[in-house]
Amino acid sequence: MNTIEVNKISKTYKTDKDAVKALDNISLSVNEKEIFGLIGPDGAGKTTLFRILTTLLLADEGDASVDGADVKKDYKKIRESVGYMPGKFSLYQDLTVEENLHFFATIFKTTVQENYDLIKDIYTQIEPFKTRRAGKLSGGMKQKLALCCALIHKPTVLFLDEPTTGVDPVSRKEFWEMLKSLQKQGITIMVSTPYMDEANLCDRIAFIQTGKILSVDTPQNIIQNFSKKLFAVKGKDMYKILLKLRDFPDVQTSYAFGDYHHVTLKNDDEKESEIKKYLTTELPDEDITVKTIQPGIEDSFMEYLNKS
């Protein structure tokens, strides 16, 4: 039995005029004690899936179970055994750090002392501020406190909805280290993020886009499955180059990607020299460099997007 089982879940949000399909026939499963990443842009349906799995929202179709309990029938059991950290900071801002923690411990009929070992590593970082009101904490500390509160009842499954959005890079790194250590303590973690670089830190990831799952696999496999040779192109006027690349009949995809343009060709037998030859004849003054590179998660995501 997998810890999280999602079977053909669909959810449509209806407004007066139109209906938005937030989740479209989604199926996936999460193994015990793994960090499962839900990767997708804003509006892909990540939060909707989280809300269904944490019994806050009813799906239109399909069924799902968390830790063996059905999200519809056994919702009470799920509420006792999962920890949920919503994307928006949702602790009581006018309670202090300590009060929030005690409050949530009491709600789950437990005490802070009882499960202190689980949150100790995280809580010690915010302990100097324990008499400060939660609303006055910095973004990173808020997330740490929220994580503590989500863990205080020793959940078996942890749902984290975009925990690192709006958090500085150092805190993000720390946060992921915490998740890794929680995983070692036997907690299954489902985390969503719009950051592709965080995908590598998950055991398995699912690409989600406009309510559909594009692919579910380990980050390594997903990168390996990248079917094309990938080239990186650099020059002086990047925008001009991008436009030229898109005019080149042999190019299949070309995207701006930081300092480089990532390019794939229709025919994988062609070499980087041919791109260079084409670009230097078209734009002689641009000082073009072209090299073959290893694809990353983001490249894979773009490829899946184009396929679907």
Partner 1 sequence: MPTVQLLILPLAATYEMKNISLSVIDNDHSTYAQQLINKFTASGYFKLTDYSASYKEALHQVEKNNADIILQIPANFEKTLIRENKASLSLNVNAINGSTAGLAASYAGIIIKNFNAEIREKILQTPAANMQPVIDITYSNWYNPDLNYKKFMVPGILVMLLSLVGGFLAALNIVSEKEKGTIEQINVTPVKKTTFIISKIIPFWIIGMIIFTVGLIICKLVYNITPVGSYITLYAFAAIYMLAFLGFGLLISTYSDNQRQAMFVAFFFMLIFILLSGEFTPITSMPQWAQVVAKLNPLSYFVAVMRLVMLKGSSFTDVSSYFLTICGFGALFNTWAILNYRKTSG
Residue 285 CB, nearest distance to partner 1 (Å)?
Answer: 54
Q: Which amino acid is at 224?
A: Q
CB 196 within 8 A of CB 11: no
User: 202 to 261, contacts with partner 1 by CB under 8 A?
Assistant: none
Q: Rounded to the nearest whole angstrom, what is the least distance from the CB of residue 58 to partner 1 in the complex?
A: 6
Determine which residue in the list 48, 54, 253, 254 makes contact with partner 1, applying CB under 8 A. Answer: 54
Binder of partner 1 out of 20, 57, 242, 293 (CB under 8 A): 57
Q: What is the DSSP string of 32-50?
A: TT-EEEEE--TTSSHHHHH
Query: Cα 76 from chain centroid?
Result: 27
Q: What strand order describes the sheet that includes 289-293? A: 251-257, 260-265, 230-234, 289-293
Q: Given the complex with partner 1, which of 56 and 283 has the nearer CB atom?
A: 56
Interface pick for partner 1 out of 2, 75, 132, 305 (rule CB under 8 A): 75
Contact positions with partner 1 (CB under 8 A) in 77-106: 79-80, 82, 84, 86, 88-93, 104
Does position 107 interact with partner 1 (CB under 8 A)? The reply is yes
CA–CA distance, 112 with 129 (Å, rounded to integer): 17
User: What is the smallest separation between the CB atom of 96 and partner 1, expressed in angstroms?
Assistant: 15
DSSP 83: E
Burial of 222: CB neighbours in 10 Å, binned 0-12, 13-18, 19+: buried
**Stretch binding partner 1 (CB under 8 A), from 72-80, 198-206, 234-242, 258-266:** 72-80
Interface stretch with partner 1, choices 26-34, 55-63, 264-272, 292-300 (CB under 8 A): 55-63
> Is the separation of the CB atoms in 53 and 4 below 8 Å?
yes
22: burial class by Cβ within 10 Å (0-12, 13-18, 19+)? buried
Least separation in angstroms between CB 240 and partner 1: 46
Binding site for partner 1 (CB under 8 A): 54-58, 75-76, 79-80, 82, 84, 86, 88-93, 104, 107-109, 149
